[in-house]
Amino acid sequence: MNTIFKGDSINKGARILANMIKDSGITVILTGAGMDTESNIPDFRGRDGWWKNIDPRQVASIYTFDRDYPLFHEFYSMRIKILEGVEPHEGHYILADLEKKGLIDSIATQNVSGLHSRAGSNNVYELHGNIRTIRCNQCNNEGKLEDFLAGKDCSFCNNKALRPNVVLFGEALPMDAWSRAEEDIKKSQLLIIIGTSLEVYPVSYLPILTKGKIVLINNEDVNANYEFDIKLIGKAGEILKELDKYIA
Ligand code: OAD
């Protein structure tokens, strides 16, 4: 089908999507950084995204962690500080409410902000980890956020190896979150993909697992080697508010 709704037709697309949600037995949401930009967290490949000025392999890789800890530390401290005072926006709360109403089953997210859980969603699979929790890369013990920010060594093994619990380039995804997301998407009758360029493997491959309908909500069209049933092009938060009007 691949029908695109944008501008004045968003309202029609939102109504169609609301009916798709009501008709679906199992609905899964897959989110990316575009879900969080309306909470003032920059995305990666959008107009003002992180990777416009920085090469991800230079800062967000296990290679940098091993060979240039100060650079790794500076980049992740900056990303953690950006989250200070950040709150979920209405779109996050609408998704949490849809779960409470039994209309969506789970959210698989590439975001490390933790905003879905903070908004009240329970079944959240953080495929790229969570930036607010810290562990030691040597002894694997939990660390404190303030110790990481202060550049302290691990208090258990004394190594300079504290790091946020995020997936770095060159690392595997967390097994548990990944297999739950795979399982849910395989069973899903509707998969709604929100705010992602779908450029990063293996998450970009997840949608092919569904036998159900696939919907995109993004502020630009994206390339994928699978068909979308409908695409709603615009701001995620605004589209979710529109959708919410037709859910009641
Ligand atoms: P990207 O930055 O690649 O894509 C975000 C998409 O959301 C882009 O298409 C934006 O245009 C769109 N967008 C931005 N704001 C939006 C809004 N308010 N409403 C709707 N769409 C909006 O982010 P991801 O696809 O999440 O991984 O990136 C995937 C991974 O690449 C990240 O998890 C991170 C990064 O490297 C690691 O660090 C391992």
The CA 98 to ligand 1 mean position distance, Å, reads 23
Residues 52 and 32 in one domain: no
Spatial separation of the C-alpha atoms in residues 195 and 237, rounded to whole Å: 10
Residues 141 and 213 in one domain: no
Q: Read off the pLDDT of residues 63-84 as tens digits, 9 standing for 90 and up.
A: 999 999 999 999 999 999 999 9
The CA 34 to ligand 1 mean position distance, Å, reads 5
Residues 247 and 133 in one domain: no
Residues 221 and 231 in one domain: yes
- Give me the half-sphere count of Cα atoms (radius 13 Å) on the Cβ side of residue 142: 5
The structure tokens listed for 129 are 């980890």
CATH number (domain holding residue 145): 3.30.1600.10
The structure tokens listed for 18 are 């609301």
Task: Say yes or no to pLDDT of 1 above 90.
Answer: no
Helix/strand/coil for 187: helix
Nearest Cα neighbor of 232 from 247, 220, 224 is 220
How many other CB atoms sit within 10 Å of the CB of residue 202? Answer: 11
When divided into structural domains, the chain yields a total of 2
CATH number (domain holding residue 6): 3.40.50.1220
- From 6, 30, 45, the mutation candidate for ligand 1 (largest count of ligand atoms within 8 A of CB) is 45
pLDDT in the model for residue 153: 97
Spatial separation of the C-alpha atoms in residues 217 and 17, rounded to whole Å: 10
DSSP letter, residue 152: P
- 128 counts as catalytic: yes
Structural domain including 142 reads 42-82+129-166
The structure tokens listed for 106 are 């789970």
Residues 25 and 142 in one domain: no
Q: Read off the pLDDT of residues 162-207 as tens digits, 9 standing for 90 and up.
A: 999 999 999 999 999 999 999 999 999 999 999 999 999 999 999 9
Average pLDDT, the chain: 96
